[in-house]
Homo-oligomer: A and B are copies of this chain.
Amino acid sequence: MRKNVPSMVKDEKLIQKRREQMIKAAVSLFKEKGFHRTTTREIARVAGFSIGTLYEYIRKKEDVLYLVCDSIYDEVRERLEEQIKPGVKGIDRLKQALHAFYQVMDDFQDEVLVMYQEAKSLPNETLPYVLKKEIGMAEIFEKLIQDCVDEGMLQLTEEEVYGASHNILVQGQMWAFRRWALRSHYTIEEFTKMQEAFIIQALNPINTANRT
C-alpha cells in the first residue's frame, strides 16, 4: 500500500529519524515557497544536514514530496481516528467525525494546502498511492454515512453516499485552500458549525423537526 522510497542507508531507525527531519523541513519550506521554488540544498540545510546526506535518504527531489504527502496523510488520519470515539452512534457519530475533521483541517491548514498545490508534481509512480489515501479519507465518511443509511436514519443511494463523503472532504479542505476568503468571515468554530449544519441538512435526515 505504501510505496517505499529506497535509501542508501541501512539502519532503519536512522532512516526514519532523518526522514522525519527532512519532512519537517520540507513542509515548512513548501508552505512558504512551494515545491518548485524550494531547493534541495535548502531542505538539507533546514533539516540540519548536508546535501550529500539528503541524497543518502532519497533518490530525487520528488521523493521528498512523496514522503511529505504520505506523512501528512498518515498524520491527518491518525489525528482524525483518535478523535472518533467508539461509543457514539448514528448521526451523532457522523457529527462527531465532522467536528474532528474540521479541527484537523484547521491544525493542518498549511499541509493540506501544500498537498492541493503540489500533488501534480509527485513522481508518476506514486500519485496513485497518494490518491488512494485521499480515497481512504473519503471512505471514513462513506462508512459513517452508510451506517446511518443502514440504520434507517438517512435515505441515500450508494452514489449519493459517495458524493456526500467527497463533499464533506472538500468542504473541510476549503478551510485550508480558501482561507483568504473564509478567515475574515468565520472562526474555525463558526465555520465548523455552519458547515456541519449545511451538511446534515443536505443529507436530509428522516424524522427531524423540519418534517412532520
The closest CB in chain B to the CB of A210 belongs to B204
The closest CB in chain B to the CB of A202 belongs to B202
For A, the interface residue count at a CB cutoff of 8 angstroms equals 39
What sequence of 0s and 1s flags, for each residue 141-175 of chain A, a beta carbon within 8 Å of any chain B beta carbon? 00000000000000000011011101100110010
What sequence of 0s and 1s flags, for each residue 177-195 of chain A, a beta carbon within 8 Å of any chain B beta carbon? 1101110011000110011
A138 to B159, CA, bound (A): 27
Majority DSSP secondary structure for residues of A touching B: helix
Query: A25 at interface (Cβ–Cβ under 8 A)?
Result: no
A51 to B186, CA, bound (A): 46
Q: Specify which chain B residues have a CB less than 8 angstroms from the CB of A120 in the assembled complex.
A: 34, 117
Of the candidates A164, A190, A204, the one having the most CB atoms from chain B within 10 angstroms of its own CB is A204
CB distance from A163 to the nearest CB of B (A): 5
A170-B171, A202-B199 given; A194·B159 CB < 8 A:
yes
Query: A121 at interface (Cβ–Cβ under 8 A)?
Result: yes
Q: Are B194 and A181 in contact (CB under 8 A)?
A: no
Query: A9 at interface (Cβ–Cβ under 8 A)?
Result: no
CB distance from A138 to the nearest CB of B (A): 7
A194 to B190, CA, bound (A): 26
A34-B121, A117-B117 given; A131·B170 CB < 8 A:
no
Q: Are A134 and B198 in contact (CB under 8 A)?
A: no
Write 19 A-B pairs (CB below 8 A) sorted by A numbering.
A34-B120, A36-B36, A116-B117, A117-B117, A131-B180, A131-B181, A159-B185, A159-B186, A159-B194, A160-B194, A163-B186, A166-B174, A166-B178, A166-B182, A167-B171, A170-B178, A201-B201, A202-B202, A210-B211
Which residues of chain A have a CB within 8 Å of any CB of chain B?
A: 34, 36, 116-117, 120-121, 131, 134-135, 138, 159-160, 162-164, 166-167, 170-171, 174, 177-178, 180-182, 185-186, 190-191, 194-195, 198-199, 201-204, 210-211
